[in-house]
């Protein structure tokens, strides 16, 4: 009896717990979980600022790559106080370091480095010799001309030779004329082109006969050349030679240049028209007027320049229209320059009349 009574009491307790859970929504024996606190964020640790690189110390490195980086960065600031350091780098055993030093000293126009850079014109590395030519061109010291002429005459690398030709032309080096004239017969069209351009800049008329003879040969070679790249070379060559004859005011070449007005290449025709204009010959005027409306922007610019060089005022209406309607700023400004060459001036705005007060 007692066992049965204990079982009945247990059952009643179980049922009463279920009723409580249904009414309150909370299980009798369920414990509410304690709130879990989030860990506090770790304190921010500021990183130390990186130490500035000491490029002067890096220049003493045994690694050539690091020395190049050092020279590049020292030269980047263009600090005149660093010139002695950069001149010292010209004696480095590594070609890349010497090239970097040449570049920086040239851009700084460091006259005091001229002698040392001239000595690099005899360096065994062709890229060093070429960089030395460029640097001397920036510095512009006339005493470099002797070394540059020696490169034109004897350097085995055409890139170095042509760089020296370019610099001598920019220097207007009269002393280089006798070394440049033989190159007008060089087998390489680009060598002939560079020589003709330099001689045109130097401006000594004694070079004109040699340029004219070279032009005649180039025209014949251009006619028979079929390979597209080589054709382009010859067209650029002929254009440069014609322009050089115009710079030298060589009237004896007029007849041959007039023949080029009938050439199939537009650039060649326009170069002939512009050069004839410099010589006071307006026979290229119609060609330039026609090509001023060409679809090719490069051709239009060249045509507009030619109209300015020819100097005929009948071109003013064409140039005014281009100036007023052209959307290409380069062509627009070229038209403005050509108009000014022809004596044109922009119309002045009419003054506003002030009404008299009654």
Is residue 142 in some structural domain? yes
Residue 194: phi and psi, rounded to 5, are -60, -40
Enter the tokens of residue 228.
Answer: 């597209």
- What pLDDT does residue 171 have? 97
Is the Cβ–Cβ distance between 287 and 263 less than 8 Å? Answer: no
Residue 233: phi and psi, rounded to 5, are -60, -45
Q: How confident is the model at residue 21 (pLDDT cuts 50, 70, 90)?
A: very low
If we measure between CA atoms, which residue out of 214, 275, 204 comes closest to residue 245? 275
Q: CA torsion, points 202, 207, 212, 218, in degrees to nearest 10? A: -70
Is residue 123 in some structural domain? yes
Is the Cβ–Cβ distance between 315 and 307 less than 8 Å? Answer: yes
pLDDT digits (tens, 9 = 90+) for 343-357: 998 877 777 666 666
Is residue 153 in some structural domain? yes
Is the Cβ–Cβ distance between 200 and 243 less than 8 Å? Answer: yes
Is residue 140 in some structural domain? yes
Residue 16: HSE in the Cβ half-sphere, 13 Å Cα cutoff: 6
Q: How confident is the model at residue 50 (pLDDT cuts 50, 70, 90)?
A: confident
Question: How much is the mean pLDDT over the chain?
Answer: 89
Is residue 220 in some structural domain? no
Enter the tokens of residue 343.
Answer: 């004596």
Q: How confident is the model at residue 5 (pLDDT cuts 50, 70, 90)?
A: very low
Q: Work out the number of other CB atoms within 10 angstroms of the CB of residue 84.
A: 12
313 SS3 class: helix
Is residue 129 in some structural domain? yes
247: exposed, middle or buried (Cβ count in 10 Å: 0-12, 13-18, 19+): buried
**Predicted TM-score of the model (pTM):** 0.81
Q: Domain range for residue 60?
A: 53-171
DSSP secondary-structure letter at 187? Answer: S
d(C-alpha 80, C-alpha 7), whole Å:
107
Enter the tokens of residue 239.
Answer: 């254009």
d(C-alpha 181, C-alpha 179), whole Å:
6
Enter the tokens of residue 128.
Answer: 């060093």
Q: Residue 326: is its pLDDT beyond 50? A: yes
Q: What's the domain count of the chain?
A: 1
Is residue 232 in some structural domain? no
d(C-alpha 214, C-alpha 133), whole Å:
26
Q: How confident is the model at residue 32 (pLDDT cuts 50, 70, 90)?
A: low
pLDDT digits (tens, 9 = 90+) for 169-213: 999 999 999 999 999 999 999 999 999 999 999 999 999 999 999
Is residue 99 in some structural domain? yes
Q: How confident is the model at residue 15 (pLDDT cuts 50, 70, 90)?
A: very low
Q: Residue 8: is its pLDDT beyond 60? A: no
CATH code assigned at 118: 1.25.10.10
- What pLDDT does residue 11 have? 45
pLDDT digits (tens, 9 = 90+) for 59-79: 999 999 999 999 999 999 999
Average pLDDT over residues 26-51: 63
């Amino acid at each position: 009896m007692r066992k049965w009574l204990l079982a009945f009491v247990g059952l009643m307790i179980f049922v009463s717990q279920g009723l409580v859970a249904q009414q309150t929504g909370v299980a009798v024996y369920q414990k509410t979980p304690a709130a879990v606190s989030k860990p506090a964020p770790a304190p921010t640790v500021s990183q130390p600022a990186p130490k500035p690189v000491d490029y002067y110390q890096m220049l003493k490195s045994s690694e050539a790559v690091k020395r190049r980086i050092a020279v590049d960065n020292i030269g980047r600031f263009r600090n005149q106080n660093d010139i002695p350091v950069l001149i010292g780098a010209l004696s480095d055993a590594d070609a890349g370091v010497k090239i970097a030093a040449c570049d920086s000293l040239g851009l700084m126009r460091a006259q005091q480095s001229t002698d040392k850079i001239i000595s690099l014109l005899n360096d065994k590395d062709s890229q060093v010799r070429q960089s030395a030519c460029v640097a001397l061109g920036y510095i512009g010291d006339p005493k470099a001309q002797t070394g540059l002429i020696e490169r034109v005459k004897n350097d085995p690398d055409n890139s170095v030779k042509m760089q020296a030709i370019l610099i001598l032309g920019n220097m207007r080096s009269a002393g280089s004329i006798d070394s440049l004239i033989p190159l007008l017969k060089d087998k390489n069209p680009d060598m002939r082109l560079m020589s003709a351009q330099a001689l045109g800049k130097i401006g000594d008329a004694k070079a004109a006969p040699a340029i004219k003879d070279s032009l005649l040969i180039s025209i014949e070679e251009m006619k028979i050349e079929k390979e597209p790249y080589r054709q382009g070379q010859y067209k650029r060559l002929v254009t440069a030679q014609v322009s050089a004859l115009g710079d030298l005011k060589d009237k004896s070449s007029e007849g041959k240049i007039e023949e080029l007005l009938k050439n199939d290449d537009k650039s060649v025709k326009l170069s002939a028209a512009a050069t004839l204009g410099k010589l006071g010959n307006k026979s290229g005027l119609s060609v330039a007027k026609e090509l001023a409306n060409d679809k090719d922007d490069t051709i239009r610019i060249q045509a507009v320049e030619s109209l300015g060089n020819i100097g005929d005022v009948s071109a003013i209406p064409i140039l005014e229209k281009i100036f007023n309607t052209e959307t290409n700023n380069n062509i627009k400004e070229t038209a403005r320059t050509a108009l000014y060459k022809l004596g044109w001036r922009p119309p002045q705005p009419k003054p506003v009349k002030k009404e008299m007060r009654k």
